[in-house]
């Protein structure tokens, strides 16, 4: 069947290089190698083009509002779906996957949550904990978690304070809360920052890939 | 684009959950989002048989025919002016290119319009309420579009074309062949999109061979492509002129992005997020009544 069709290219306006500044180093570290756009995924963990190798720097708690690879993110205490306070420090000593997502009961977030659920055994196998964070309240998380039988913790970041503190970028000119996943190793140091708004299942692939290499 | 399907009492229902799909219960939680609209808690709906139970609703009336005639007159007037201007200028390239662009862009326009009508508003929405109701009826009884007579199917769009083309043509310069060609092509494709849509619901054996051929080469939206729009999750293949934009819009998740933007900006969920498929699911015909409690 001969059909006309328009070319399918990545949206150029969504591709960008994101500079990061390390306050402990006079050198501006620029991540110039980006794997993909916001549509197809942005992995902010490639060290190959850093001007200062991350391994030579001690982990730091960022002073500016952005958590990057090599950082120890600021701790937080948020309410889970049962209304209980949960602190990031509760999970010290084990790898932690913290995924920020826009909202409960939206198609992409549901796909992402179900993908984490379906691969949860693999996360348990490597000893990792999975935490989902959005601005929804605990009641919303409870309903969402119950409906899709999610085995992991969902935290309510009401007011999106932690999202802002960690520097999760918004999408689509600031209209959409970003979908970004962080993987912390057993020492609490961020080893992966993965951003992909419209391919939510890829967050699971990328995090598992990284966890297996830790 | 869709004419009203009488006897369809479309529900103003809350959405019920479905596995791995969205529901309409959680509010958007961002600092920029307006408080979300909460859907009614309880509603009862009675769905009677579709338009085929009342054959007159599928027939063309003289009013329908008059609107279609005026629509075609508007289109032909634009095209005639374009031809005249092209002859005067001695060049057909610009108007032909403009007409082609009009055909291509109309496909895109039908996609956005179709997406908006399918997902937002309801029967009581000003101006668009009847169309929204008709669109929902079409999803439940898609085959009825193939039973509508020509003018019955097209008259609503013909009316819109008549009123849209008149002022444009009034202000367009008489010797601007490209503008007239663009307007004529756009208007013609918009008006005929409902016929293209009806053909996309037809069966190969019952369609004229030339229509089948045009569908097969992608000049008209294909039956297979449009059928995908009528399958869950009902959120793709919105374009209904040639469908040339469907792949791109779906690949880039344009409508998904727009739905998320609308949700976070206005707190309104699109119908395609609904897990209650009654509003979308094709009915086999007959009577059903449902009561829904949230």
Domains and CATH numbers, chain A: 77-212 (3.40.30.10)
**pLDDT at residue A131, as a whole number:** 98
Is A64 among the catalytic positions?
no
Q: Which residue has the tokens 């992005």?
A: B257
Contact B256 A198 (CB under 8 A): yes
Yes or no: say if B49 and B7 are a contact pair by the CB < 8 Å rule. yes
Q: Which two tokens stand for residue A149?
A: 């039988």
pLDDT tens-digit map of B32-52: 444 444 444 444 444 445 555
Please count the other Cβ atoms lying within 10 Å of the Cβ belonging to residue B126.
6
Q: Which pLDDT band, with edges at 50, 70 and 90, does A58 fall under? A: low
The residue of chain B nearest to residue A113, with distances taken between CA atoms, is B20
What distance in Å separates the CA atoms of residue B27 and residue A51, rounded to the nearest whole number?
A: 44
User: Residue A122 class from Cβ within 10 Å (0-12 exposed, 13-18 middle, 19+ buried)?
Assistant: middle
Mean pLDDT of chain A: 81
3-state secondary structure of A153: strand
Taking the Cβ of residue A39 and every Cβ of chain B, the question of whether any pair is shorter than 8 Å is answered with yes
pLDDT, one tens digit per residue, over B99-134 is 999 999 999 999 999 999 999 999 999 989 988 988
B244/A4 touch (CB, cutoff 8 Å), yes or no: yes
For all residues of chain B together, what is the average pLDDT?
A: 81
Residue B281's region, left for phi above 0, alpha for psi from -120 to 50, else beta, is: beta
Which residue did the predictor score with more confidence, B169 or B67? B67
Nearest CB to B257; choose among A111, A137, A172: A172
pLDDT computed for residue B165 by the predictor: 92
Chain B residues within an 8 Å CB radius of A108: 256, 260
ipTM of the complex: 0.74
Whether the per-residue pLDDT at B1 is higher than 80: the answer is: no
Looking at the partner chain, which of A104, A110, A159 has a beta carbon nearest the beta carbon of B20? A110
Which pLDDT score is estimated for B283? Answer: 66
- Going by their DSSP bridges, the two strands A153-156 and A129-134 should be labelled as parallel
DSSP B283: P
Contacts of B216 in chain A (CB under 8 A): 1-2
In chain B, whose CA is at the least distance from the CA of A156? B29
Find which of A8, A40, A106 to mutate to test the B interface (most B CBs within 10 Å of its CB): A106
Cβ of B26 under 8 Å from any chain A Cβ? yes
* Catalytic option among A3, A64, A109, A114: A109
- To the nearest whole percent, how much of chain B has pLDDT over 90? 63
Q: Mean pLDDT throughout A4-22?
A: 41
Q: Are B44 and B14 contacting, i.e. CB atoms less than 8 angstroms apart?
A: no
Domain map (residue ranges) of chain B: 55-273
Judged by DSSP in three states, A108 sits in helix
- Residue A67 reports pLDDT greater than 90: yes
Q: Which of B160, B133, B108, B140 is nearest to B12 (CA)?
A: B133
């Amino acid at each position: 069947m001969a059909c006309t069709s328009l070319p399918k290219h990545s949206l150029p306006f969504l591709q960008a290089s994101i500079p990061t500044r390390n306050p402990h180093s006079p050198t501006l570290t620029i991540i110039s190698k980006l794997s993909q756009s916001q549509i197809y995924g942005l992995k902010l963990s490639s060290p190959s083009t850093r001007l200062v190798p991350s391994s030579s720097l001690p982990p730091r708690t960022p002073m500016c509002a952005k958590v990057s690879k090599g950082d120890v993110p600021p701790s937080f205490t948020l309410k889970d779906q049962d209304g209980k306070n949960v602190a990031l420090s509760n999970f010290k000593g084990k790898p932690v996957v913290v995924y920020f997502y826009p909202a409960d009961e939206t198609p992409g977030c549901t796909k992402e949550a179900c993908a984490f659920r379906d691969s949860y055994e693999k996360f348990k196998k490597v000893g990792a904990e999975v935490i989902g964070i959005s601005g929804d309240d605990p009641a919303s998380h409870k309903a969402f978690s119950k409906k899709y039988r999610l085995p992991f913790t969902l935290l309510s970041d009401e007011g999106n304070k932690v999202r802002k503190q960690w520097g999760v970028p918004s999408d689509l000119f600031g209209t959409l809360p970003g979908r970004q996943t962080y993987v912390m190793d057993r020492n609490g140091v961020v080893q992966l920052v993965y951003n992909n708004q419209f391919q939510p299942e890829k967050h699971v692939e990328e995090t598992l890939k990284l966890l297996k290499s830790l | 684009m869709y004419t009203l399907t009488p006897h369809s009492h479309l529900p103003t229902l809350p959405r019920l959950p479905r596995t791995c799909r969205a529901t309409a219960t959680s509010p958007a939680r961002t600092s920029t989002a307006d408080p979300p609209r909460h859907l009614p808690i309880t509603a009862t709906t009675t769905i009677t048989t579709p338009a085929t139970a009342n054959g007159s609703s599928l027939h063309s009336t003289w009013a329908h025919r008059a609107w279609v005639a005026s629509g075609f007159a508007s289109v032909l007037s634009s095209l005639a002016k374009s031809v005249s201007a092209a002859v005067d200028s001695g060049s057909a390239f610009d108007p032909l290119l403009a007409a082609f662009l009009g055909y291509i862009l109309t496909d895109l326009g039908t996609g956005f319009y179709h997406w908006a009508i399918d997902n937002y508003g309801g029967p009581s929405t000003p101006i668009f309420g009847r169309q929204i109701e008709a669109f929902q009826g079409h999803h439940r009884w898609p085959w009825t579009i193939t039973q509508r007579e020509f003018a019955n199917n097209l008259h609503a769009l013909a009316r819109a074309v008549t009123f849209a083309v008149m002022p444009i043509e009034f202000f367009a310069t008489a010797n601007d062949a490209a503008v007239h060609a663009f307007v004529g092509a756009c208007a013609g494709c918009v008006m005929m999109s409902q016929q293209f849509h009806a053909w996309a619901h037809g069966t190969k054996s019952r369609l004229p061979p030339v229509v089948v051929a045009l569908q097969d080469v992608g000049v008209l939206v294909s039956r297979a492509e449009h059928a995908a729009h009528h399958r869950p999750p009902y959120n793709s293949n919105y374009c209904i002129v040639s469908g040339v934009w469907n792949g791109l819009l779906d690949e880039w998740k344009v409508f998904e992005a727009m739905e998320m933007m609308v949700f976070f900006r206005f707190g309104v969920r699109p119908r395609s997020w609904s897990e209650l498929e009654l509003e979308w699911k094709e009915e086999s015909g007959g009577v059903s009544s449902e009561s829904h409690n949230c």
